[in-house]
Amino acid sequence: MRRDSFGSRFGALVAMAGSAVGLGNLWRFPYLVGENGGAAFIIIYILLSFLICLPIFISEFVIGRRSQKNAFAAFRDLSGGSAWRFVGLFTVIVPLIVLSYYSVIGGWSVEYLFKSLSFSFTENASQGAFHTMFSDFVSSTWAPLAGHTLFLLATAMIVIVGIKDGIEKFSKVMMPMLFFMVIAIAIYALTLPGAKAGVDYLFNPDFSKITGKACATALGQAFFSLSLGFGTIMTYASYVNKKENILTQSTATAVSDLMFALIAGVAIMPAVFAFGLNPQSGPGLVFETLPFVFGQMPAGGLIAIIFFVALLVAALTSSISMMEVAVAYLVEEKKFSRLWACITLFAGCWIVGALCSLSFGPLSHIKIDGGSIFDFFDNLSSNILMTLGSLLTVLFVGWKLKKTDIYDEFTNGGTLPLNVRIFGVLWVLIRYVAPVAIIFIFVYGLI
């Protein structure tokens, strides 16, 4: 049977950008900026994204397109059937772990979209009332489970349709719409009285804020945002035409991801400062602080709807890439139909996600290493599994694969002059610099 693939260069680009652009940009990036000193953190984030994370991204791209197979088969075949094949299995399992708890947060965005559609964010409510609204919601039983189920079901339904007719078509429509919506919110936020303080916070650097912790956090966020270390880029790259330029596609994806994160910051921080709120609100920034802001804004009800639609779309463009990694494995290696692969993965992720969701309420008494079930999976994937997956990937490309094969794939057989000129620098970054940086963030995260 002929393997499905992306139908166009633009389709591949928006799908990869969609995998990268997600809750990491709209939910995670703004509050990390707030917690780590604003503009100085952004500068470090940009440098690490291009010096460290882009070479890792290219490494995953090379593996996927070179093999034209799922992540497991890619490592198995490119390594000659050696023990490296187990790294491929690792990269199939990790995105399922991430998707299980990610879909819980996706379910929160579903709930808050419904709340915005019913104009629940009123100007008469205090900030404390929105904190209570969020905590009451996540600690309840059925409403978060319903959101988790709807979000995961939407993910599976898109993936069932396939690469060209499902993931690509969804990304082609939703990614431009997503950028448009967030840009519109950013423009509106800049018109608010007092918004300049938020802009200054984002773009006037205070280098005294740069610490080892800030650097490790910035690198970890770049990993999370670009979907590194868990097979999504590898899988999508396996559907990309051999004629495409890996450097162009990879750089465009990284730039899109970065621009979206910055636009999200501009959409959120000026509004936060305009109403005198704390930019260091942590994970509650989107679900507690912003609803209060929307309640104070002129036309805030409409802005809230646009924002939570954007949040849901961003979450879905990433979740479909996570599910596709394991779907490709089950279809190609275990001969599942795409339908039954999605049903099986939906069931498994739903069960784990349900435990994560209930860990804020009925299962809150269960602690793993001092944290909830949700915290355990979040920390395990973000601080250990994704980092380990990225390290194994660059070691595989830099030390196991033949340099001539990497050169051939990256330069399309030596036909791309720019790629040929910069290959030496890229090789040093992949072989030496990226592994050291990954080990740094891994060790720093443990101490």
* Domain 9-446 CATH (choose: 1.20.120.530, 1.20.1740.10, 3.30.70.330, 3.30.750.80): 1.20.1740.10
To the nearest 5 percent, what fractions of the chain are helix, strand and coil?
80, 0, 20
Task: Read off the pTM.
Answer: 0.93
Burial track 156-181 (b if 16+ CB lie within 10 A, e otherwise): bebbbbbbeebbbbbbbebbeebbeb
Q: Give the span between the Cα atoms of 88 and 179, in whole angstroms.
A: 33
> What pLDDT is recorded for position 364?
95
Contact (Cβ atoms closer than 8 angstroms) between residue 368 and residue 377: no
> What pLDDT is recorded for position 219?
83
Assigned token pair, 318: 């990433």
DSSP string, 416-444: -HHHHHHHHHHHHIIIIIHHHHHHHHHHH
179 residue type, one letter: F
Phi/psi for 283 (5° steps) reads -60, -20
Helix extents (H) in 162-243: 169-190, 195-203, 212-225, 232-237
> What pLDDT is recorded for position 275?
85
The domains of the chain are located at 9-446
> What pLDDT is recorded for position 283?
66
Q: Which residues pair with 368 in a beta bridge?
A: 371
Helix extents (H) in 208-280: 212-225, 232-237, 246-274
> What pLDDT is recorded for position 62?
97
Burial track 110-129 (b if 16+ CB lie within 10 A, e otherwise): bbbbebbeeebbeeebebee
Contacts of 98 (CB under 8 A, 6+ apart): 230, 322, 381, 386
Q: Give the span between the Cα atoms of 440 and 383, in whole angstroms.
A: 12
Q: Give the span between the Cα atoms of 405 and 384, in whole angstroms.
A: 29
Report residues of the chain scoring pLDDT below 70.
1-2, 281-283, 445-447
| Half-sphere exposure of residue 119: CA atoms within 13 angstroms, side-chain side | 9
Q: Give the span between the Cα atoms of 149 and 217, in whole angstroms.
A: 31
> What pLDDT is recorded for position 276?
83
Nearest to 430 by CA among 422, 421, 442, 420: 422
> What pLDDT is recorded for position 380?
86
Q: What is the distance between the terminal CA atoms of the chain, rounded to a whole angstrom?
A: 50
Q: Give the span between the Cα atoms of 171 and 180, in whole angstroms.
A: 14
Helix (H) and strand (E) counts in the chain: 23, 0
Tell me the per-residue pLDDT of 133-179, one tens digit each, with 9 for 90 and over.
999 999 999 999 999 999 999 999 999 999 989 999 999 999 999 99
Neighbours of 358 (CB within 10 A): 22
